Amino acid sequence: MPFKQFDELIDQWNPSRGIEDSSTPPYTWYTDTNFFEQEVAHIFQRAWVPVGRSDQVEKPGQYFTGSVVDNPYVVVRSLDDGKLYAHHNVCRHKGSIVALQDDESQHNSCAFFQCPFHGWEYRHDGSLKKAPLLGRQVKFNDERFGLPPICVETWGPLIFLDLDGPFGGISNPRDLKADVKELDDVLSATNWDKLKFYKREVYELKCNWKVFVDNSLDGCYHCVYAHEQLANQLNLDQFKVEVFKRGSVQKGPTKSPDPRLGESVAYCYLYPNLFINRYGHMMDINIVEPLAVDRCRVIIDFFFDHKDVEDWESRKRIREDISSSHLVQQQDIDVCEYTQRGMNSVSFRSGRYSSLLEQACYAFHVLHWHELRGLVT
């Protein structure tokens, strides 16, 4: 797609009108394949994106695999030096996936990686250990045939990757710690990093990734209609939205101390695709993975108070809490998929914001416009 055309798509929305006078971004932002491809190239391949948890690679030798917008990666804690590494999980011989994983919620470990195709071996730091039966080579330099490195960082229980190779390592100008500063202040007060991971649920949605993000940033506008039971437990009149440079928090009290939600809830968002929802004895962390212009995957990791995970009574309550969350999630999936279908209609061009409730959603679109334009430093 010529750059001008992409430029025109971005500029179908004006980020400087203010929430009261602004339409929402046009349907093309949610339905145009070329726009999606540019989002992948300009945003997801050039940002810190969350991929997993530190407890998956707690012990030396443990690793997990996945893909960031179709780029397979492996994250590993090295047996040799105990450090955390991330690499493109792509063999330097013929491009096969190297590290395989049986079950993403289990701990995987190995002494080194061996490609399943022709057996090339790589150390945990990515360097080439052995290339069997290669025969005589001219100008073959082992050092140039390691797994390509990816920048890796942690925040709280989370691991982030930045695929943008040239900016790797300490010279990376994108500062994750600065990006999360305000959210860290909100979450630190809730002991979020002391909670224990319990279970992962994965959902596939037939909608653009931003439909899910928009839904989660509407200041609970949809709660009364889409989540009647949840809305009855929240004191929505006292809900507040705080917008930060690269995220937001929507928070408010519950109606009475609720066994699941506690006294208050805090729904935190970090651009582009992370939600951290902290309430009561629990927390759910949502990573929204774009799969195609009209498909995304939402990975939800549930965390609980450590003592809650231990005894049988608590486990029973945890199961109930997770099934309540599952119900809420299913309701969100329904409205997100209705929205994607509606956006494909010739009748829909763009919508409007609630100026009372949707400040976080508006801020997301303004930041996204600037990121797509390459105007964020």
Q: Which residues bind ligand FES (CB under 6 A)?
A: 91, 93-94, 96, 115, 117-120
Q: How far is CA 12 from the centre of its chain?
A: 26
Q: How far is the CB of 227 from Fe ion (least distance, A)?
A: 6
Q: How far is the CB of 121 from ligand FES (least distance, A)?
A: 9
Q: How far is the CB of 29 from ligand FES (least distance, A)?
A: 38
Distance in angstroms (rounded) separating the CA atoms of residues 31 and 13: 15
By a kind-dependent CB cut-off of 5 to 8 A, residue 260 interacts, out of ligand FES, Fe ion, none, with none
Q: How far is the CB of 223 from Fe ion (least distance, A)?
A: 6
By a kind-dependent CB cut-off of 5 to 8 A, residue 332 interacts, out of ligand FES, Fe ion, none, with Fe ion
- Segment contacting Fe ion by CB under 5 A, of 66-74, 95-103, 129-137, 325-333: 325-333
Q: How far is the CB of 152 from ligand FES (least distance, A)?
A: 23
Contact with Fe ion (CB under 5 A): which of 214, 332, 358, 371?
332
The three-class DSSP label of residue 325 is helix
Closest among 198, 190, 200 to 315, alpha carbons compared:
198
Q: How far is the CB of 354 from Fe ion (least distance, A)?
A: 15
Size of the site for Fe ion (CB under 5 A): 1
- Segment contacting Fe ion by CB under 5 A, of 73-81, 82-90, 300-308, 331-339: 331-339
> With respect to ligand FES, which residue has the nearer C-beta, 9 or 115?
115
Distance in angstroms (rounded) separating the CA atoms of residues 88 and 167: 15
CB 246 within 8 A of CB 371: no
Q: Token pair 């989660």 is at which residue? A: 216
What angle (nearest 5°) sits at the alpha carbon of residue 333, between those of residues 370 and 241?
50
Q: Is 71 exposed, middle or buried (0-12, 13-18, 19+ CB in 10 A)?
A: middle
Phi, psi of 80 (to 5 degrees): -80, -45
Distance in angstroms (rounded) separating the CA atoms of residues 87 and 76: 9
> With respect to ligand FES, which residue has the nearer C-beta, 128 or 322?
128
By a kind-dependent CB cut-off of 5 to 8 A, residue 91 interacts, out of ligand FES, Fe ion, none, with ligand FES
CB 123 within 8 A of CB 98: no
Interacting residue ranges for Fe ion, rule: CB under 5 A:
332
